[in-house]
Amino acid sequence: MPTSRTGRPPVQRAGRRPVARVSRDNPVRRLFIRARKAWDRPLTAYYLILGGSLLITVLGLVMVYSASQITALQLSLPGSYFFRKQFLAALIGGVLMLAASRMPVKLHRALAYPILAGAVFLMALVQVPGIGVAVNGNQNWISLGGSFQIQPSEFGKLALVLWGADLLARKQDKRLLTQWKHMLVPLVPVAFMLLGLIMLGGDMGTAIILTAILFGLLWLAGAPTRLFVGVLSIAVAIGFTLIKTSPNRMSRLACIGATEPGPHDTCWQAVHGIYALASGGLFGSGLGASVEKWGQLPEAHTDFIFAITGEELGLAGTLSVLALFAALGYAGIRVAGRTEDPFVRYAAGGVTTWITAQAVINIGAVLGLLPIAGVPLPLFSYGGSALLPTMFAVGLLIAFARDDPAARAALAMRQPRFGRRRGAVRESARAGGPRRWNTMRRRASAARSSGER
């Protein structure tokens, strides 16, 4: 038996067991790891907001063109009439979104009070006889001449988000949000004033969205449970009274889950929305081949455009729309959760609450799970008054996503593929000079938050 140098018998080592590399060789595992790394990158929220909003808007333009052709022809108008108006609104909204994404945070805060004052003035102007216009029984429009109209209550959502975020941020800087009086006043009275002006015109759907924004701001401000429940109880009581005293709203509430039009066809719109979704199948009947838009489904290009999408594009199309809204909502929550600027957190949370709540209410009504509230699908349905402030709000989210220090460093790292700057960086690297990445990283880590003073 061979011995070691010390004269002792050698120790027999156990053979190494083969290391299991199932996790590394598993393609699903590798795909999950890559997706998780891509999800955690600094520019993920920026790309999700920009790409998701643009895809929703473009797909909405296509569906508006498809769903509105028959309605336009029935009104003795060109088939592309509603599409052209929506396309013009999308162009103006794109300019607003670009401007909002390039504005500094201080300018956004400076615009809060002028936008609130303008929205209140226009919403009060709606009730002036001869100026306000009634559409479908709700007087909440102002005629701009010709076929162009504006709905000021849509701009009230943007006004509440900006003004409420600026108000709460100022109070947080002064450490006043620990007192319930400062948390409620003047945020809740101003919100109730906007709700009162909206309800004077009878638009309860927009009032519900405004209430959701208010509760979103209070939740982000850290309102205690008792205070939150108290304000919620008051809102529920007021809403129940308004629904109970209106036969039209009671009939809408009775149409939840309806499968038959009912007496006097009170649930006609809700039932035919379900018919449109049911006849779409997996991949739909084809773009432009909807049957329900031929006069069977009212408001096919506005409130019930999701039903036409399900009929023409099928389950695949509706799930794609839901996925885009889910990505947009996640990106907004991520921007609000990762910032240290209180104004950015409140504004991003308010915009995310606004878009998400409105999408849920619209889609829930089409699916028969919620009463028909008469609110459009954000960025998707026909309506310039709803599209313009929503695209400006998306521009806010883009600006906030770009303002993140890690995102700024990643954007600063991008160099043109051709030109002197790239050559200069290569020469600096060859000469042993510092890399631009480290410089930008130090600069981004040393930068202060845009809302700090």
Q: Mean pLDDT highest for which of 58-72, 214-228, 425-439?
A: 58-72
Q: How confident is the model at residue 45 (pLDDT cuts 50, 70, 90)?
A: very high
Name the token pair of 350. 């308010």
Q: pLDDT tens digits, residue range 287-317?
A: 999 999 998 899 999 999 999 999 999 999 9
Collapsing DSSP to helix, strand or coil, 393 comes out as helix
* Averaged pLDDT of the chain: 85
Question: Mean of the pLDDT values across residues 72-77?
Answer: 93
Q: Which of 92-101, 147-156, 232-241, 338-347 has the lowest mean pLDDT?
A: 232-241
Structure token pair of residue 429? 């690297």
The beta-carbon contacts of 263-269 under 8 Å, at least 24 apart in sequence, are: 268/298, 269/297, 269/298, 269/299, 269/304, 269/372
What pLDDT score does 428 carry?
Answer: 44
Mean local confidence (pLDDT), 22-42: 75
Task: Count the neighbouring beta carbons within 10 Å of the beta carbon of residue 315.
Answer: 14
Between 186 and 420, the more confident residue is 186
pLDDT of residue 7 exceeding 70: no
pLDDT (average), residues 437-442: 37
User: How does pLDDT run across 354-403, given as a tens digit for each residue?
Assistant: 999 999 999 999 999 999 988 999 999 999 999 999 999 999 999 999 98
Tokens linked to 130: 């001869």
- Chain centroid to Cα 274, Å, comes to 25
* Predicted local confidence at residue 164, as pLDDT: 97
CA distance readout (Å), 324 to 52, 80, 90, 311, 329: 6, 26, 18, 19, 9
**What is the structure's pLDDT at 179?**
87
pTM of the model: 0.84
CA atoms of 30 and 125, how far apart (whole Å): 59
Exposure string of 201-240, with b = 16+ CB inside 10 Å and e = fewer, is: bbbbbbbbbbbbbbbbbbebbebeeeeeeebeeebeeebe
Residue 167 · residue 186 · CB < 8 Å = yes
Per-residue pLDDT tens digits for 158-190? 999 999 999 999 999 999 988 888 888 899 999
Sheet holding 138-143, edge to edge: 132-135, 138-143, 149-150
| pLDDT 10s digits, 81-99 | 999 999 999 999 999 999 9
- Name the least confident of 72-86, 179-193, 323-337: 179-193
pLDDT(17) > 60:
no
Quote the distance between the C-alpha of residue 144 and its chain's center: 27
Asked if residue 423 has pLDDT above 50, the reply is no
What integer pLDDT is reported at residue 324 of this predicted model?
97
pLDDT range class, residue 9, cuts 50, 70, 90 = low
pLDDT band at 230 (very low <50, low <70, confident <90, very high): confident
- Give the pLDDT confidence score for residue 31 in this predicted structure: 81
Position 251, amino acid? S
| Separation CA 443–CA 411 (nearest Å) | 13
pLDDT value at residue 88 = 96
Looking at residue 264, what is its pLDDT? Answer: 81
Task: Supply the pLDDT for residue 212.
Answer: 95
Predicted confidence at residue 238, as pLDDT, reads 86
End-to-end CA distance of the chain: 81
Report the pLDDT value the prediction gives residue 415, as an integer from 0 to 100.
53
Among 57-66, 192-201, 425-434, where is mean pLDDT lowest? 425-434
CA proximity to 349, closest of 202, 77, 162:
162
The pLDDT of residue 18: 53
Which one has a higher pLDDT value, 67 or 414?
Answer: 67
Confidence (pLDDT) at 132: 86
Output 420 or 356, whichever has higher pLDDT. 356
Show the tokens assigned to 336: 């609000």
Question: How confident is the model at residue 30, as a pLDDT?
Answer: 81
Q: What is the DSSP string of 338-370?
A: H---HHHHHHHHHHHHHHHHHHHHHHHHHTTSS
Q: How far is residue 377's CA from residue 315's CA, in Å, rounded to a whole number?
A: 17
Residue of 207, 208, 232 lying closest to 219 (CA atoms): 232
